Each structure stands twice: as structure tokens, then as C-alpha cells.
Amino acid sequence: MDRYVYKDGKKMRYGYTTGSCATAAAKGAARMLFSQREIDLVNIDTLKGWTLELELEDTVVNREFAQCSVKKDSGDDPDITNGIKIFARVEKIDGNNIEISGGEGVGIVTRKGLSVGVGEYAINPIPRKTIEEVVKSETPKGCGIKVTIFCPEGVEIGKKTFNPQLGIEGGISIIGTTGIVEPMSEEAFKDSLAIEVSVKRQEGIDRLILSPGNYGRDFSEKLGLDTEYLIKTSNFIGFMLDKMEEYEIQEILWVGHIGKMIKVAAGIFHTHSRISDARMETLAAYGALLGADTELIKKIMNSITTEEAIDYIKKWDKSQELFDLIAQRISDRCRRRLKSSIKLGTIIFSQQHGVLGRCKDADNIMRGFQFEKD
């Protein structure tokens, strides 16, 4: 599709969702079944207010069923499902209902907390509704129809998405609220993080380990923590704290690399470098608070990475006091943002030096996440 948005000075093209692909394929298959002729284009209206003209591929038409596929186009969004084919098979059934099901490569929900029930195919409510509407518009009154959405490539692609973490097994999800993929959409990523919290909560979990990324997950394992309780927050620290309150989480343990978490000590809750980067300034300020001399502060300020700065700080006799203070301030800043009495602890680490500092509550909270010894 030829619609664009400018982000960070770059012209980026919109795409369309797996939900739009499934809707278009279902509409095309239904039209072919009742006309008994092949077609190669179909139009659908999206909730974004845009009309899409999409090409149909792999068409099959006979008196029993019709099917076709639509190729996913994610525009300039780095979406792993870009280019895969979403198929729809439409066949007549007894009665006058429209049944929508999934097939090969569409995941099955195995855990509570999602918008689709356990045991059902992961075809989200909005795509399910649009599929039903377009098929109904192509079907003679009084005729029953079964629509099967499938995606053979989805079996392998699904393993590389968030689906396994969310309890969706065997394939991809058919998703999309507006039908349109906005390139580099933070909102879509944040939605997936919120779903992870919802799933954990539905399983009765009310305490979580939070970490900005894979380093934190790996380090949590080294600490002997059960990472079944861990959710990666990426850069969205404030957003995830808000979700902790929304889902009534009772305890949080932050396990994070100092390069990300030092920003939170300065009250920064979106930690992407293009949004904020006060790492060295914050380290230097807390060092000065504890009496660091000018030479050390200069070395910190001239450091390229926090790992480099830590090498200098570690030679200072107040280094442990500094790192514990930073961990404490991270916890304090998070509590200041939270409106509830969630228990919260922080552990900060570096790749070279391991654990750097803990806040005063970290050890007590950490014990609740450690594996029980035999």
C-alpha cells in the first residue's frame, strides 16, 4: 500500500495486518465459491478508515469449496510475519450460521488471560468480526458457511514471536485492531507486554521479576531465580509500572543492567537512547553526592559506556555505597510513580562485575523468587 508516515526524519510505509489478510482472503474465497469463477483482487474496508485493494493468490475453486491466500505486507515495520501467506478456505455447511475456525499454522490458545478462550484458535475478536462481516456480505441468505484460516508458514514463524511466552502454541496469531500496520509502532509492542502481565495474573501470579532485556533474564538465572516469573519490559519502564498497578501485582523485583537502570535513578521511565541518555551525568551526580573527587567525576563523564565508568568507580573506596545508593534511588523513584503499596526491590549488575548494588528490600523480595532447595 502506498501510504507513508515520517518518523525520525524517515519516510516509512504503512502495511496491513494478518487480520486484514485473513479478511480479504475469506471475502475472496466466499465470492469465488458462489460465483464459481476465480478472481485476483478484492477490496476490504479497515477500521482505520482506509480501503485496501489486495491481491489474491493460490486460488482454488470447485463446487465443494474455494480457497485463496493473501500475502502479508508489513510496510517498513520490522515484522517477522512480513511476506507470509494467509489462506482462507470457505465451504458450505448445513444451517445458516457462519463458523470461523483455524487450521495449520494458526496458534491455539493454551493459557488464560488472552482475548481468545483456551482451546480456541488465536484469531482475535476484531479480525473474527471482520471475517464474519465480509463473508456474510458474499453469502446468499439462509446458507451456512465454514471459514478456515490457515498459514502453513506460521508453524515455524510462530516460534519466533511472543506467542510461546503467551501460551499460544502451533503458529501465529491473526491480529489487528485497525487492520493497518504502523511502521515501528511502539504501541503494538507495549500491547504485547501488557498481555504477558495479563496472562501471568490469570495464572494466579501476583509477584513478578522485571528486567529491561535478555541480560537481565540471563543474570536472573545466575542468581538462581525462577524466570517463569520474569517479564522483559524493554525500554517501557513507566508503562510497565502502570500495568503492575492495573493488574494488582503485589511484589516487583527489578533485575537490570546498570546501563538501563541508572536512567530510572534520574526519574527517566522511557530508557531508549533516542528519548533519553543521562547515564554518565547520573553516575557522576551520585558520585559527587558521596564525595567523589574531580578526577573520578571527569573519568565518569568522559566514559563511553557504563561498563567503562564502573571500572573507574570500582577503584574508589565508596563504590559499594554508591551502587547501593543508586539501587535504592531506583526503587524510590518507582515507588514515587506507583500510587499503591506494591513491594519493590532493585538489583543492578554489570556484565564484567556481576551484582553491583541492591536496595534495602531487594534480598527479602528476591528470596520469594528463588528455587526451593531439595
49 CB neighbour count, 10 Å cutoff? 9
CB 25 within 8 A of CB 146: no
Domains in the chain: boundaries? 4-181, 186-367
**Cα–Cα distance between 3 and 244 in angstroms, integer?**
36
Instruction: Tell how strand 343-350 and strand 251-257 pair up.
Output: parallel
pTM of the complete model beyond 0.85: no
* 41 pLDDT more than 60: yes
* Distance (Å, whole) CA 373 – CA 338: 34
Comparing 53-62, 141-150, 157-166, the range with the smallest average pLDDT is 157-166
Beta-carbon contacts of 226 under 8 Å, excluding residues fewer than 6 positions away, are: 369, 370, 371
Task: Name the more confident of 272 and 19.
Answer: 19
Segment 155-172 shows an average pLDDT of 92
Classify residue 367 by its DSSP letter.
H
- For domain 4-181, the CATH superfamily is CbiD-like (3.30.2110.10)
Residue 192 has pLDDT above 90, yes or no: no
> pLDDT digit string (tens) for 307-356?
999 999 999 999 999 999 999 999 999 999 998 889 999 999 998 899 99
pLDDT single digits (tens) 103-128: 999 999 998 888 899 999 999 999 99
For the chain, percent of residues with pLDDT exceeding 90:
81
The string of pLDDT tens digits covering residues 3-20 is 877 766 678 899 999 999
Region 265-293: what's the mean pLDDT?
93
Q: Which of 7, 30, 36, 43 is nearest to 93 (CA)?
A: 30
Smallest CA-to-CA distance from 173 within 145, 192, 200 is with 192
The answer to whether 315 and 299 have CB atoms below 8 angstroms apart is no
pLDDT of 355-367, one tens digit each? 999 999 999 999 9
Contacts with 147 (C-beta within 8 Å, 6 or more apart), sequence order: 26, 29, 30, 88, 89, 90, 98, 99, 100, 101, 131, 135
Over residues 297-302, the mean pLDDT reads 96
DSSP 305-336: SHHHHHHHHTTSTTHHHHHHHHHHHHHHHHHH
- pLDDT score, position 337: 94
Q: E strand or H helix at 44, and its extent?
A: strand 41-45
Output the pLDDT for position 372. Answer: 66
Provide mean pLDDT across the span 185-198. Answer: 86
Q: What is the pLDDT of residues 75-100, one digit of tens each?
A: 988 889 999 999 999 999 999 999 99
Q: What SS3 state is found at 146?
A: strand
Set of cell numbers at residue 156: 515455524
pLDDT of residue 8: 61
Identify the pLDDT of residue 374.
47
Q: What value does the mean pLDDT take over residues 283-305?
A: 95
